[in-house]
Amino acid sequence: MTWKPTKKLFALAMAVGLLAAACGDDDDTTTDTTEATEQTTEDTAAEFEAGTTMADIAEAGTITVGVKYDQPGFGLQNPTTSEVEGFDVEIARLIVEAIGEDVEIEFVESVSRNREPFLQDGTVDLVIATYTINDARKQVIDFAGPYFVAEQDIMVRADDETIESVDDLNGKNVCTVTGSTSATNVAASAPQASVTLLDTYSQCAEAMTDGRVEAVTTDNTILAGLVQASDGEYKLIEAPFSEEPYGIGLPKGDDDFRNFINDRLEEIFESGEWAEAFESTLGAIGLDTPEPPEVDRYTETPPAPTTTAAP
């Protein structure tokens, strides 16, 4: 006879897990909640209504996900294996395994400026790429999440003593990326900065090594990865000047898919799988695991912002 666990058993397993956690028995908690979540995944996969994106993907057996390829900790292509690795990649896996254990993910490199176009023209089904949720982007795509909240910060050469806050960027040569909120934010917060816009943050890091720019600005978590990879050449200022809630981008108007992803995010926040994914990726570059953020299930597209510069 095949053992068929039920949702009741899942609830029981969760309760046991929580009890074990309360008793300080961390090892048991991890095992219990992981097994329980695997079961929920199987239950969910069988329940998709025909015509939903989840049913279509389960039937096709593949999904395309846009991620970064040059951001240590989030999405980085391993030069030896060519596999892409990082927190965003793990989040993709955790979402997709709830559609079907056998669904294959085809990762597609997305730089900041092509994330909305890739979702609009169908190049990718999802974008999970350090992608800030904002009203300008919600005009053309939708977001599940957030699943993480970063802050914009500044990276300089380790021996630089002249830049200690965003104000100090005025009059300096600064690099950031086309189509990013980092570009919009630095233009607003340091209007006298001379901003070089490139395609990727790794190109900005090279521009600093070459002496073409004096600072790179974007999310602190992206910069933390570049600082670690620089082997003492760069440092992070740690003077954040914006909040960047990361969402999962999906085509506009697919509310069933958005609800499904939001449900799954809440499930992995609860089960500990989100924290495990964080520890094994961003934890390895020295970041402490935060509390997961609260999912925002917005029901209407907000009005478009009036500034023309916002990406």
From the list 29, 33, 37, 182, which residue makes contact with ligand GLU (rule: CB under 6 A)?
182
Is there binding between residue 53 and ligand GLU (CB under 6 A)? no
Closest among 188, 269, 180 to 219, alpha carbons compared: 180
Task: Select 193 or 222, whichever has its Cβ closest to ligand GLU.
Answer: 222
Coil vs helix vs strand at 236: strand
Q: How far apart are CB 106 and ligand GLU at their closest, in Å?
A: 20
Is there binding between residue 44 and ligand GLU (CB under 6 A)? no
- Report helix angle 7-22 to 26-45, nearest 10: 160
Q: Write out the two tokens for 220.
A: 């602190």
Angstrom distance (rounded) from CA 300 to CA 84: 34
Is there binding between residue 131 and ligand GLU (CB under 6 A)? yes
Is there binding between residue 130 and ligand GLU (CB under 6 A)? yes
User: What does 47-91 look like in DSSP terms, one character per residue?
Assistant: TPPTTSHHHHHHHHTEEEEEE-SEETTTEEE-TTT--EESHHHHH
Site for ligand GLU in 231-250 (CB under 6 A): 244
Is there binding between residue 180 and ligand GLU (CB under 6 A)? yes
Is there binding between residue 200 and ligand GLU (CB under 6 A)? no
- Which range in 39-47, 176-184, 264-272, 289-297 contacts ligand GLU by CB under 6 A? 176-184
Contact 295, 145 (CB under 8 A): yes
- Residue 152 pairs in a beta bridge with 219
From the list 218, 221, 242, 262, which residue makes contact with ligand GLU (rule: CB under 6 A)?
218
Closest among 180, 175, 153, 149 to 165, alpha carbons compared: 153
Is there binding between residue 148 and ligand GLU (CB under 6 A)? no
Tell me which residues touch ligand GLU (CB under 6 A). 112, 129-132, 177, 180-182, 218-219, 222, 244
